[in-house]
């Protein structure tokens, strides 16, 4: 078990260029965060208590093996997201896809513990219990309660660093990317080839040197492998231990558009 954990930490070091112990410390930190875990578990239970499917990402692991590995705390993707933001200490994070706000809360908790950084989120709220049909014709049942806004489950204590833009990412993401270049971009909105490819290209074009593009559900379609190959990266070498995609922009001179006045 310990050998597996050390291998995981070395994999993060390879992907993002931080010391294994830094990511390991962040991982242990979030798995010991009873305040946030208990809060988000209540959010999930409140949603599922209405007998509605479509909550989205589970706070805990989906199966007994993952729950055993994580000590019945945050799922592997949730712990990974927090650990990366905590270890990289980005000054600006942009995410697409909020839903009830589990990932949003984890990002904000990491920024709060880092003592700096902001999060801009873009979300097109789906309130229909049937979910929505994406551009590939695939139904995604993820939605939020009819009377709630995206991120309704984010604790009030963490909202001070957060800006929410509601609308289609193909319209609102360019607006979210204006200004100080992000260091960390997280895709978790509509998982269609069209939208994912658009978001990857838009975010990568302004991502700060050394910054990270991080994506959920990279096996839904060919968007992530295709984009990785355009960068000369083997897609399978860009898959994280939690099964998400991660691409790091080469370190080099900042583009002219990113220069500060």
For 24-45, the pLDDT digits (tens) are 999 999 999 999 999 999 999 8
pLDDT at position 253 is 57
- As a whole number of angstroms, the distance between CA 123 and CA 190 comes to 9
Place 69 in a pLDDT band, splitting at 50, 70 and 90: confident
Helix, strand or coil, per DSSP, at residue 71: coil
pLDDT tens per residue across span 158-176: 999 999 999 999 999 999 9
The greatest distance separating any two alpha carbons of the chain, rounded to the nearest whole angstrom, comes to: 53
Place 66 in a pLDDT band, splitting at 50, 70 and 90: confident
User: Helix, strand, coil % (nearest 5) of the chain?
Assistant: 45, 15, 40
- As a whole number of angstroms, the distance between CA 259 and CA 155 comes to 34
- Over 60: is that where the pLDDT of 178 sits? yes
Is 257 within a domain?
no
pLDDT tens per residue across span 181-197: 999 999 999 999 999 99
Is 225 within a domain?
yes
User: Which residues have a Cβ under 8 Å from the Cβ of 106 and sit 6 or more positions away?
Assistant: 30, 36, 74, 78, 81, 82, 85
209-233 mean pLDDT: 96
Is 17 within a domain?
yes
The answer to whether the predicted template modeling score (pTM) of the entire model surpasses 0.85 is: yes
Place 257 in a pLDDT band, splitting at 50, 70 and 90: very low
Average pLDDT score over the chain = 91
Cα separations (Å) of 124 from 14, 99, 150, 193, 261? Answer: 34, 8, 8, 17, 33
- Residue 170 in contact with residue 198, Cβ under 8 Å? yes
Nearest to 80 by CA among 29, 146, 137, 143: 29
Is 102 within a domain?
yes
Domain count, the chain: 1
The helix (run of H) or strand (run of E) holding residue 166 is: strand 162-166
- Residue 75 in contact with residue 61, Cβ under 8 Å? yes
- As a whole number of angstroms, the distance between CA 185 and CA 177 comes to 10
Is 77 within a domain?
yes
- As a whole number of angstroms, the distance between CA 11 and CA 15 comes to 6
Supply the CATH number for residue 89's domain: 3.40.50.150
Token pair listed for 243: 């099964």
- Residue 192 in contact with residue 96, Cβ under 8 Å? no
Give the domain extent around 142. 2-250
pLDDT at position 208 is 96
Is 67 within a domain?
yes
Place 2 in a pLDDT band, splitting at 50, 70 and 90: low
Is pLDDT larger for residue 71 or for residue 214?
Answer: 214
Is 260 within a domain?
no
Task: Return the number of other C-beta atoms located less than 10 Å from residue 205's C-beta.
Answer: 12
Contacts 24+ apart (CB under 8 A), 10-14: 11/240, 11/241, 12/83, 12/84, 12/87, 12/240, 12/241
Share of the chain above pLDDT 70, in %: 93
User: Which residues have a Cβ under 8 Å from the Cβ of 10 and sit 6 or more positions away?
Assistant: 20
What ranges make up the beta strands (E) of 24-141? 92-96, 118-123, 132-133, 139-140
What count of Cα atoms within 13 Å lies in the side-chain half-sphere of residue 238?
24
Q: What are phi and psi of 31, to 5 degrees?
A: -75, -10
Is 258 within a domain?
no
- Over 80: is that where the pLDDT of 1 sits? no
């Amino acid at each position: 078990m310990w050998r597996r954990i050390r291998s995981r930490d070395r994999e993060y070091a390879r992907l993002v260029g931080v010391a294994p112990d830094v990511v390991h410390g962040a991982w242990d930190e979030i798995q010991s965060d009873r305040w946030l875990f208990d809060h988000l578990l209540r959010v999930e239970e409140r949603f599922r208590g209405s007998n509605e499917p479509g909550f989205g990402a589970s706070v805990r692991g989906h199966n007994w093996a993952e729950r055993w590995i994580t000590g019945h705390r945050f799922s592997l993707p949730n712990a990974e997201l927090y650990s990366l933001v905590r270890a990289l200490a980005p000054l600006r994070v942009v995410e697409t896809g909020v839903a009830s706000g589990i990932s949003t809360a984890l990002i904000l908790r990491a920024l709060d513990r880092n003592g700096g950084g902001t999060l801009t989120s873009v979300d097109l709220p789906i309130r229909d219990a049937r979910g929505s049909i994406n551009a590939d014709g695939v139904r995604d049942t993820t939605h939020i309660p009819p009377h709630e806004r995206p991120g309704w489950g984010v604790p009030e204590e963490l909202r001070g660093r957060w800006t929410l833009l509601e609308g289609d990412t193909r319209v609102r993401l360019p607006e979210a990317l204006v200004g100080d270049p992000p260091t960390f971009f997280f895709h978790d909105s509509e998982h269609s080839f069209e939208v994912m490819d658009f978001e990857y290209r838009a975010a990568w074009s302004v991502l700060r040197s050394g910054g990270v593009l991080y994506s959920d559900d990279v096996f839904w379609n060919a968007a992530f492998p295709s984009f990785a190959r355009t960068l000369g990266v083997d897609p399978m070498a860009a898959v994280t231990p939690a099964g998400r995609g991660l691409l790091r922009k080469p370190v080099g001179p900042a583009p002219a558009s990113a220069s500060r006045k």
